[in-house]
Amino acid sequence: MTYRTVVATLLKPLHWVACGLAMCLAVILAGMLILMEQQVARSGHAGRHTIA
């Protein structure tokens, strides 16, 4: 095996691992944003009720 084939075989799985990690991070970030928006909406509604 030459240097190029070794690098290619090493990079292929790394590429898939990086894609998987990126997708996991995107899902986690989206979930955190949704949870934060829900909490803000709840506290906002509660604040409005107490003011009213």
Q: What is the pLDDT of residue 36?
A: 92
Per domain, the residue ranges of the chain are: 23-52
Q: What is the pLDDT of residue 5?
A: 93
Could you tell me the pTM of the whole model?
Answer: 0.55
**Could you give the maximum distance between any two Cα atoms of the chain, in Å?**
75
Q: What is the pLDDT of residues 3-52, one digit of tens each?
A: 899 988 988 888 889 999 999 999 999 999 999 999 888 887 765 666 65
CA dihedral sign, ordered 41, 43, 49, 51: negative
Q: What is the pLDDT of residue 43?
A: 81
Helix (H, G, I), strand (E, B) or coil at 8: helix
